Amino acid sequence: MNKFIKLGGKDVYGKFSYRELSDRNIVLKSQFNLCALCGCSITSLNNTEEHMIPQSIGGRLKVKGFICRSCNSKTGDKWDAELAKQLNPLNLLCNVKRERSPPPSQNFNTRGGDSFTWNSDGTYSPSKPTFKRSETDEVVKYDIVARDQKEARRMLNGLKKKHPDIDIEDILSQVSFVSDYLDDPIEMKTQIGGDLSGRSIVKTALCMVYASGVDLTFCNLANNYLTNNNAAPCYGYYNEEDLVENREKGVPIHCVAIKSDAKKNLILGYVEFFGAYRMVVCLSDCYKGEDFYNVYSINPVNQEIFDINVDLDFSQEDIEPICNYERASFYNFKRAMSDVIERAQAASFDAERKRVIDLAYAYALEECGIKEGDTIEAVHLEKITQLVMQKLMPFLIHHSKNR
């Protein structure tokens, strides 16, 4: 089957294979497009670029003429925002590169009960500053833990109101900034779901139908679900078996595929996020027309496009159990998620190893008075080696304990 078979209804600039989908935005030629959600006419004043896969989780491909500016804003603020909130731990774990801004930092707890903030640059910091007061017969002691010097100064200014004699500048000059590693595993929720994120999922599949030049009026189930708050969901989580052929293990791909089967009256979609969240969407159960198929897949970490095939060979009888989550296997989801986490942890280890080695070497050169471009004399080698090892020890000890 061809990657794309052009259908009537809309005139497309070219035929879009998976690779062509990755290389450009999609513009459909029609002066009479209607918004897929509210039905208003799409004009030059309200036309907008809709990310097929939400940009908040690393999507890049944009489609014009699919929905109006108002619906883009509303669904982005509600549907896509809820999906992004649920998937943000994977954004941080996989170090996803977004178009507009880094993923938001998020608070987590460790199994040991410690609370910390996972920052978008991969670092961790205390989730909030701590202030402890202890008193003996002769001394009042304050222990302050701040996340940066600005926060430490603000806390000391508050303390100065009670103790006017303290010298803030002197205290700050003696402050030590500590870099350490977490000793306990973090607790991370991996579930997604609910009506808002579900509508975002179905919208992604419907957007692919539109981008493929297919008349959206065929998609009765998807249209009803997205425009009727009381409609039953037309999708379900599916990992009874892996529908993606030639998958590279552990790669956190985002994927959207569509396929029609006129003999079965079906238009089916497949949406996958981070290589583990896998959903089958039934967009239509009354389709009559030419058969078509299209697929697009991207790695949100490095924007690499993958040439994959998705096997969407289901019957009408399969749809109800899929939408009732009867074809979802927690064991297979856990195995897929474990593969993604293992690969992400390996990448994180490599990045951290490079970071600490670079910092240790720069520290050693500075301590030896060696500037960029200077020749390193043999007399310096032993001291440089000692200083580098001194800085590397926390990294080496931490990872030797966790092997």
pTM of the predicted model as reported, rounded to 2 decimal places: 0.84
- Between 279 and 25, the more confident residue is 279
For 370-400, write each residue's pLDDT tens digit: 888 888 888 888 899 999 999 888 888 887 7
Lowest mean pLDDT among 140-154, 212-226, 318-332, 337-351: 140-154
Q: Which residue has the tokens 């419907």?
A: 206
- Between 147 and 273, the more confident residue is 273
Q: What is the pLDDT of residue 148?
A: 81
Instruction: For residue 403, name the pLDDT band (cuts at 50, 70, 90).
Output: low
Instruction: For residue 180, name the pLDDT band (cuts at 50, 70, 90).
Output: confident
Q: What is the pLDDT of residue 375?
A: 86
Rounded to a whole number, what is the distance in angstroms from the first to the last CA of the chain?
Answer: 48
Q: What is the pLDDT of residue 372?
A: 83
Q: What is the pLDDT of residue 131?
A: 78
Distance (Å, rounded) from C-alpha 378 to C-alpha 182?
38
User: What percentage of the chain exceeds 90 in pLDDT?
Assistant: 59
Q: Is the pLDDT of residue 22 over 50?
A: no
Q: Is the pLDDT of residue 21 over 70?
A: no
Q: Which two tokens stand for residue 27?
A: 């513009």
Q: What is the DSSP letter of 217?
A: G
The per-residue pLDDT of the chain, averaged, comes to: 87
Instruction: For residue 14, name the pLDDT band (cuts at 50, 70, 90).
Output: very low
Q: Which two tokens stand for residue 219?
A: 């998609």
Is residue 79 classed exposed, middle or buried when 0-12, 13-18 and 19+ CB atoms within 10 A define those classes? buried
Q: What is the DSSP letter of 324?
A: T
Q: What is the pLDDT of residue 128?
A: 83
Q: Is the pLDDT of residue 217 over 50?
A: yes
For 326-348, write each residue's pLDDT tens digit: 999 999 999 999 999 999 999 98
Q: What is the pLDDT of residue 82?
A: 97
Q: 279: part of which helix (H) or strand (E)? A: strand 277-284
